[in-house]
């Protein structure tokens, strides 16, 4: 018999049950009669998290959910909520994005970020310097993409890099600063100490000129030989990562991400990252690569949004965000299809990707959200899968009750730990009964919500 675990009900609005099967955890949330639902799902990056680090990442995810949900309740779009969640992460130095980003080999901060909506509009910044909120610049570029041609028939840019992103941000009255100034607002003492230790390691290894240790993941050294179990192999790969732990507190490899669904059922996703530690200046990760960092689409009556985290070079080669979204959009809506398809997609598209060499650590993860609305129901599914030691993700749901307005359940945050398997999965679904043709305006009922 499959064991069932009781979980906390969300203020009496949901009946929750979770089932543990091997190393896969599934949760099913069945909703009562509501007219619509809005959703925020975020992750704070995969990595090696200490006990204290997990708690900080959980709170960061909850706060990002609150910020994004507040935007949705103000009658904004899904892509606006995604940008709000990413800005929240960028202002919290616990995450590897914005403030607290990993430093380059030269000791500078260069950030990648991108956002995408289900209409195919996209915006990104790559190796951006002197920008306080890279995700806000990416959102502005997305709006330019959605706005059509520029004067004289010029095509608006989708991606801007380095100083070009700062110039663009300044032209649009976004927060910028001099990246060469002594008081760089994105640098923290913790990242400065980590950079010093990494430079000492590189000097000892004779690799300060930019060898393989500055471009991603190195081959396991002879000192890392040991058992050949799957778990041991993964640990050896991780030990070569450019973000291996130095201070015993917390190490997040890469990108934070968010996927949001607004009241009309539109979906959007986005990612933001400071990149790997001691990377070569100008290096661009998956957070600024089309199809690798985030994806949002509509297909077969379903809306799907994904965002990735992990080794950027591996995620770029595998185009994990786009391919996972395409796989999830093809899935039939039975109870087992969602988690099984996400697992199969991750194994095929990433763990067994032919474009990835055996020497590269398959360190990565993906957060996927899928929605389908019929005349009477809206089904929302959330899945998080990764091949790293741990991943922290959070989610928050708001539903609309006729005559009462919008109600937001408290945000939740979970820690998905590694297992002996190459992957670890958490999957859950929300099914809501929908009364069609009911007027509900988030702006007029935001006061009734309690995010």
DSSP label at residue 92 = -
CA dist 403 and 421 (Å) reads: 48
Q: Hey, which residues are catalytic here?
A: 255
264: three-class secondary structure by DSSP: coil
Long-range contacts of 346-351 (CB under 8 A, 24+ apart): 346/385, 346/387, 346/423, 347/422, 347/423, 349/318, 349/319, 349/320, 349/323, 349/324, 350/314, 350/315, 350/318, 350/320, 350/387, 351/387, 351/422, 351/423
Per DSSP, the residues of 180-236 read TSSS-TT--HHHHHHHHHHHHHHHHHT-TTT-GGGSSBPPPPGGG----SHHHHHHH
Q: Which residues pair with 190 in a beta bridge?
A: none
Q: Which residues pair with 4 in a beta bridge?
A: 19
Query: Residue 383 is inside which H or E element, if any?
Result: strand 377-386
Residues 6+ apart with CB under 8 A from 38: 69, 72, 73, 260, 261, 262, 263, 397, 398, 399, 406, 442
CA dist 409 and 11 (Å) reads: 7
CA dist 112 and 312 (Å) reads: 11
Closest CA to 123 of 53, 174, 88: 174
Q: Say if residues 273 and 113 touch (Cβ distance below 8 Å).
A: yes
C-alpha R_g of the chain: 21
Q: Quick one: residue 210, left, alpha or beta (phi over 0 = left, psi -120 to 50 = alpha)?
A: left
CA dist 10 and 368 (Å) reads: 22
């Amino acid at each position: 018999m499959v064991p069932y675990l009781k979980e906390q009900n969300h203020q009496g609005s949901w009946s929750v049950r979770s089932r543990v099967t091997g190393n896969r955890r599934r949760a099913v949330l069945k909703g009562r009669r509501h007219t619509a639902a809005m959703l925020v799902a975020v992750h704070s990056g995969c990595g090696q998290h200490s006990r204290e680090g997990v708690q900080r990442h959980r709170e960061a995810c909850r706060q990002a959910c609150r910020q994004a949900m507040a935007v949705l309740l103000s009658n904004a779009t899904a892509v606006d909520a995604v940008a709000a969640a990413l800005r929240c992460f960028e202002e919290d130095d616990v995450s590897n994005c914005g403030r607290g980003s990993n430093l380059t080999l030269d000791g500078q901060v260069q950030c990648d970020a991108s956002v995408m909506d289900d209409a195919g509009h996209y915006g990104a910044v790559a190796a951006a310097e002197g920008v306080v909120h890279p995700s806000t610049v990416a959102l502005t570029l997305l709006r330019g993409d959605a706005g059509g041609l520029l004067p004289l028939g010029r095509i608006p840019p989708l991606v801007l890099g380095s100083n070009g992103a700062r110039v663009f941000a300044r032209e649009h009255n976004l927060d910028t600063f001099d990246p060469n100034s002594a008081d760089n607002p994105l640098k923290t003492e913790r990242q400065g100490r980590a950079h010093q230790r990494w430079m000492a390691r590189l000097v000892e290894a004779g690799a300060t000129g930019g060898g393989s240790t500055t471009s991603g993941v190195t081959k396991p050294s002879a000192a890392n030989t040991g058992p050949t179990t799957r778990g041991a192999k993964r640990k050896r790969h991780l030990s070569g990562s450019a973000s291996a732990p130095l201070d015993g507190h917390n190490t997040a490899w890469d990108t934070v991400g968010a996927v949001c669904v607004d009241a009309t059922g539109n979906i959007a996703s986005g990612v933001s990252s400071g990149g790997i530690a001691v990377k070569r200046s100008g290096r661009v990760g998956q957070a600024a690569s089309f199809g690798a960092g985030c994806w949002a689409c509509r297909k077969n009556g379903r809306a799907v949004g994904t965002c990735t985290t992990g080794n950027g070079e591996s995620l770029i080669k595998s185009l994990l965000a786009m391919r996972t979204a395409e796989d999830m959009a093809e899935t039939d809506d039975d109870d087992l299809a969602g988690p099984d398809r996400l697992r199969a997609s991750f194994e095929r598209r990433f763990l067994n990707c032919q474009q990835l060499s055996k020497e590269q650590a398959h360190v990565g993860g993906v957060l996927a959200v899928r929605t389908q609305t019929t005349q009477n129901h809206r089904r929302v599914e959330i899945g998080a899968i990764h091949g790293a030691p741990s991943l922290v993700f959070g989610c928050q749901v708001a539903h609309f009750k006729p005559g009462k307005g919008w109600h937001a359940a408290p945000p939740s945050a979970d820690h998905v730990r590694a297992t002996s398997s190459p992957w670890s999965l958490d999957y859950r679904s929300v099914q809501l009964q929908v009364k069609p043709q009911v007027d509900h305006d988030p702006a007029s009922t935001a006061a009734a919500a309690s995010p």
